Structure 1
Amino acid sequence: MTAACLMNTYQPLPLSFAKGLGTRLWDQAGREYLDAVAGVAVTNVGHSHPRVVAAISEQAGLLLHTSNLYSIDWQQRLAQKLTQLSGLDQVFFNNSGAEANETALKLARLYGWHKGIEQPLVVVMENAFHGRTLGTLSASDGPAVRLGYQPLPGNFIKVPFGDLAALDKVAETYGQRISAVLLEPIQGESGVQLAPPGYLKALRERCNRRAWLLMLDEIQTGIGRTGQWFAFQHEGIVPDVMTLAKGLGNGIPIGACLARNNVAQLFTPGSHGSTFGGNPLACRVGCTVLEIIEEQGLLTNAKRQGERLLVRLRAELSDHPEVVQIRGQGLMIGIELAHPCRDLMLIAARDHGLLINVTRGKTIRLLPPLTIDDREVEMIVRGVCQTLKSVQQAQGVSDCTPAQA
């Protein structure tokens, strides 16, 4: 089958899957792979979970779409559950993470406008990634994804991630024009970059003091990925706005923007909308995913298996000449390498039956389903080490041999 009729926006491996179950995928020839990327942090409860399959099947036979001209029962149920879990008050449902972030940026604009700021500014982080719409590209960093799209809309100020002094300096210059700070609690696309401990709490304090909105992009970190429902809960704070997508639908497209009452109420009928956002199918699946995570104890499992995976990777790779750092939280882990080798890494991992992601050219990003067990952690460790060994042999570099688990 030819891909000539598809726009050339991706660089997929010559690999296509016929089915998935739990943490495994099978290609067209029937070969099995351990999925350590989960559709980029999407299939958090695993592939073809029987309860998700049942919810999709039943709802498809009942009702898929009515539009937001009418009340949608499953939408209200999912909104209630998300607000209970997060401590935020109201939800707007979208179809994707980029749309959820666009919603957050519109709220920041309205917030500034209601404060009488003619040209409100939003502080964003260097090396951030918030989506590929023109607005979210403006808030993102990285010349490759922005090339050819200038001038981009929006007024943003970029500061280094984790640098409170830089934020304070920006406040001295532009404080009266700033309406919000938008950031990822852990920067995923830039290589699983963790903020210093206490950073989110310090941001919360500064935003309170300066009457700025604290807006967190939890599209990748949310829905249990870091061992809590949301990454901000590790620091005991609550943002003013939070965006979700990815793991919320386990593969069914859905996004959400949550906000405190005083911010959410800036929207009025007609000020924002979405044709498909919050349809019965997507919201029923979202409710089912949250139930599965609770009932199967997947937050605890993500924390425990994430810690185990970090320990095992550090034990096996601590002396490896190509490994610069291994970092992460929960089941969101990055292995930073000294030199770029994306294509070789992806192909070698595939050949060893392991599916990984390499971001920014030289950081192996591991995002397995939250359902993984001890044995699968060892399989990931073994697969990563075998992959590095294969790449080294191809490049004529030194060896990496994993110890027996």
Structure 2
Amino acid sequence: MSHLFQNYGKRRVPIVSGKGTIVTDDKGKNYLDFTSGIAVVSLGHAHPELVKTLQEQSEKLWHISNLFDIPAQEQLAEALVDQTPFDHAFFCNSGAEANEAAIKLARKHTGKHTIITFEQSFHGRTFGAMSATGQEKVRQGFGPLLETFRTIPYNDLAQLEAAIDDDVAAIMLEVIQGEGGVNAIDSAFAQAITDVCKAKDILLIVDEVQTGIGRTGTCYAFEQTPLQPDIVTLAKGLGGGFPIGAMLGKAALFPSFGAGTHGTTFGGNPLAVSVAKTVVDIVCQPSFLKEVNDKSAYLIKKLTEALPNDHYSIRGKGLLLGIHCEQEVAPFIQQAEQEGLLLVQAGTNVIRLLPPLTVSKDEIDQAVAVISTVLLGEKAII
């Protein structure tokens, strides 16, 4: 009998070690990890620079609380807002916490209450973030949600126009809905959101928990769109495997988050911000991002060549890709695991590919061979 609550649909593969894109179970079997801990281990498992940073910081200071100045916080904040529209950062422990902070800041700054979100979105499982999430399966069983979240269809201009009124504080969205099916925002819809936010003095919150820090081929995914966010939230890949979340905001928002308005005990601790600073220094370099885009193009090319386009389509950007299938994908993911490839789904009919940003082209070839095996019945060599 397990002493854990069974709130996860666990896959019974006890992973005990990892290096780069390879993880190993308790029986010594190796797997290609194309989940990255759900877009978290962006530099692969046990990246030497992250290990070095964590070891060095662990011998100095783990925790001191936000009652004191933490110089590493200032360094990470500066790195995150450099050459962006943002001026300030708040650090926490997760994506849900970052989104809670964004919701609070938007309401407090505007004095308004309604936040528009989108169907198939995912913003977290705390009550505010869950209320913002546009998936009924996430909300079921928890009673009344927080009020004044207005959820409308994604990429639907008419519904957006109909949802706007004088009480709208913010629009909150993902550039690519990872959990909801790897659904990307249309450029025209992104421009319409930018226009309406400017015209109606509405804040734009972009949830980059899954897409941020190089996952889509730019440091932030919104950079590839007409979106002009006032607030961006980050987590997952920001820490490369160490828990951290962040909210970035423009200078105009600064007075609304004064002392005592919001806080966290563990957020922005020296261990977390030191590791995250190392991640950002590596990932947000033009040469590294170019490699991500090259690998993305290679992976898309290989998948397109391997899978007939009348039954399968490829979605997404960078190394956040989805294979849309005509049938449910859960059995295929289980078969891939048996063949030595770890995958994760996005909704019922989409296989999500989230390899480390450091994945090699040889590892991509191996993964595509397994995917061909499980989807088409061809023999894989891995």
Same fold, TM-score > 0.5, yes or no: yes
8 Å CA contact retained: 1:88, 1:238: no
Q: Which residue of 2 aligns with 1:89?
A: 87
Q: Tell me which of 215, 230, 234 is aligned to 2:220.
A: 230
* Equivalent residue letter for 1:339: Q
* Equivalent residue letter for 1:336: H
Q: Which runs of 5+ in 1 are unaligned?
A: 390-398
Q: TM-score, normalised by structure 2?
A: 0.96
Shift of 1:127: 0.9
Runs of 4+ residues over 6 Å off in structure 1: none
Distance in 1 separating the partners of 2:249 and 2:193: 17
Residue deviations 1:81-111, cap 9 Å, x none? 1010533110110100000000000011112
| 1:66 lines up with 2:64 in the alignment | yes
* Equivalent residue letter for 1:361: T
Q: CA RMSD in A?
A: 1.8
Q: Which residue of 1 aligns with 2:254?
A: 264
Shift of 1:17: 1.3
Q: TM-score, normalised by structure 1?
A: 0.91
Residue deviations 1:296-321, cap 9 Å, x none? 93311111111111121112112564
8 Å CA contact retained: 1:332, 1:365: yes
8 Å CA contact retained: 1:93, 1:277: yes
Q: Tell me which of 170, 195, 203 is aligned to 1:213.
A: 203
Q: Tell me which of 2, 5, 9 is aligned to 2:3.
A: 5
Q: Tell me which of 168, 174, 184 is aligned to 2:161.
A: 168
Shift of 1:192: 0.4
8 Å CA contact retained: 2:329, 2:350: no
Distance in 1 separating the partners of 2:198 and 2:285: 36
Cα gap change, 1:84 to 1:295, in 2 (>3 Å): closer
Distance in 2 separating the partners of 1:305 and 1:12: 30
| 1:274 lines up with 2:264 in the alignment | yes
Shift of 1:200: 2.2
Shift of 1:345: 2.0
Q: Which residue of 1 aligns with 2:323?
A: 335
Q: Tell me which of 382, 388, 392 is aligned to 2:369.
A: 382
Shift of 1:151: 0.2
* Equivalent residue letter for 2:28: G
* Partner secondary structure for residue 3 of structure 2: coil
* Partner secondary structure for residue 62 of structure 1: coil
Amino-acid identity (%): 39
Distance in 2 separating the partners of 1:182 and 1:145: 17
8 Å CA contact retained: 2:120, 2:181: no
Distance in 2 separating the partners of 1:379 and 1:193: 26
Distance in 2 separating the partners of 1:137 and 1:10: 17
Residue deviations 1:148-175, cap 9 Å, x none? 112011311111111122111222xxx1
Distance in 1 separating the partners of 2:89 and 2:191: 23
Distance in 2 separating the partners of 1:295 and 1:181: 30
Residue deviations 1:191-249, cap 9 Å, x none? 10011124323311220111000110000000000000001101255310000000000
* Deviates further, 332-341 or 295-304: 295-304
Shift of 1:58: 0.9
Distance in 2 separating the partners of 1:361 and 1:311: 24
* Partner secondary structure for residue 352 of structure 2: strand
Shift of 1:61: 0.9
Q: Which residue of 1 aligns with 2:124?
A: 131
8 Å CA contact retained: 1:135, 1:154: no
8 Å CA contact retained: 2:176, 2:184: yes
Distance in 2 separating the partners of 1:201 and 1:64: 43
8 Å CA contact retained: 1:85, 1:229: no
8 Å CA contact retained: 2:218, 2:284: no
Q: Which residue of 2 aligns with 1:16?
A: 14
* Partner secondary structure for residue 10 of structure 1: coil
* Equivalent residue letter for 2:38: V
* Partner secondary structure for residue 82 of structure 2: helix
Shift of 1:112: 2.7
8 Å CA contact retained: 1:86, 1:238: no
Q: Which residue of 2 aligns with 1:297?
A: 287
Structure-to-structure mapping, 1:44-83, within 5 angstroms = 44-83=42-81
Q: Tell me which of 151, 156, 166 is aligned to 1:158.
A: 151
Distance in 2 separating the partners of 1:66 and 1:50: 26
* Deviates further, 207-216 or 371-380: 371-380
Q: Which runs of 5+ in 2 are unaligned?
A: none
What is the number of equivalent residue pairs in this alignment? 382
Cα gap change, 1:196 to 1:236, in 2 (>3 Å): closer
Q: Which residue of 1 aligns with 2:354?
A: 367
| 1:146 lines up with 2:139 in the alignment | yes
* Partner secondary structure for residue 193 of structure 2: helix
